[in-house]
Amino acid sequence: MMLFSEVRGLRVVAPAGARPLGTVTSLTVDPASGAVSHLWLRGSRWGRETVLAWDAVHTIGPTAVRVLTATAPDTVPPRHDLLGRRVLTEAGTGHGTVRDVAFAPETGRILAVLTTRGEVAADRVLGLGDYALVVRAG
């Protein structure tokens, strides 16, 4: 298990000892699959932000994310950073804000969302938009 906060700021490197591609700024979650779908990074050259599909991730370690390819995906999803996002139930009741997200680094599967009001199981996540993360009431 790993936390989103542990991955943010890690160097992203390609295989075979290539120069770092940048550092992780955010992870995008696909609520339908319940898994991380994309990795956002700020490049070491020109400081531009780019995105990689989760399928490009080979391993995540304590000091770096190793990717198989640095090729950007054909389609880029909207960037909805979960950390700090408001949490609402499907009825519109507030459930705090997202403090962190626990996930399996091997698969990207979300295990739990840690909010200011406690832990929300991954199977309760219904959707994610510009305004809030929507969860099923517990």
pLDDT tens for residues 7-27?
999 999 987 766 788 999 999
The closest alpha carbon to 28, from 48, 1, 55, 46, belongs to 55
- Does residue 111 share a domain with residue 60? no
- Does residue 7 share a domain with residue 63? yes
| CA 115, 121, 124, 126 torsion-angle sign | positive
Q: Please report, for the domain that includes residue 124, its CATH number.
A: 2.30.30.240
Identify the pLDDT of residue 112. 97
Overall number of domains in the chain: 2
- Does residue 95 share a domain with residue 58? no
- Does residue 62 share a domain with residue 20? yes
- Does residue 6 share a domain with residue 51? yes
Identify the pLDDT of residue 103. 97
Identify the pLDDT of residue 44. 61
Asked, for residue 75, whether it belongs to a domain, the answer is: no
Task: Tokens for 13, please give them.
Answer: 């490197």
Task: Tokens for 102, please give them.
Answer: 């626990």
Given a cut of 80, is residue 67 above it in pLDDT? yes
Q: Which residue has the tokens 């936390």?
A: 3
Spatial distance between the Cα atoms of 14 and 54, rounded to a whole number of angstroms: 14
**Which contacts (CB < 8 Å, 24+ apart) does range 40-48 have?**
40/79, 41/12, 44/19, 44/20
Task: Tokens for 114, please give them.
Answer: 């840690």
Asked, for residue 76, whether it belongs to a domain, the answer is: no
Q: What is the DSSP letter of 4?
A: H
Spatial distance between the Cα atoms of 74 and 77, rounded to a whole number of angstroms: 10
CA angle 39, 40, 44 (to 5 degrees): 125
pLDDT tens per residue across span 75-130: 777 788 899 999 999 999 999 999 999 999 999 999 999 999 999 999 999 999 88
- Does residue 61 share a domain with residue 25? yes
User: Rounded to two decimals, what is the model's pTM?
Assistant: 0.89
Identify the pLDDT of residue 27. 95
- Does residue 62 share a domain with residue 8? yes
Spatial distance between the Cα atoms of 98 and 131, rounded to a whole number of angstroms: 12
Spatial distance between the Cα atoms of 75 and 37, rounded to a whole number of angstroms: 11
- Does residue 60 share a domain with residue 7? yes
Given a cut of 70, is residue 51 above it in pLDDT? yes
Asked, for residue 120, whether it belongs to a domain, the answer is: yes
Asked, for residue 48, whether it belongs to a domain, the answer is: yes
Query: Domain limits at 121?
Result: 86-135
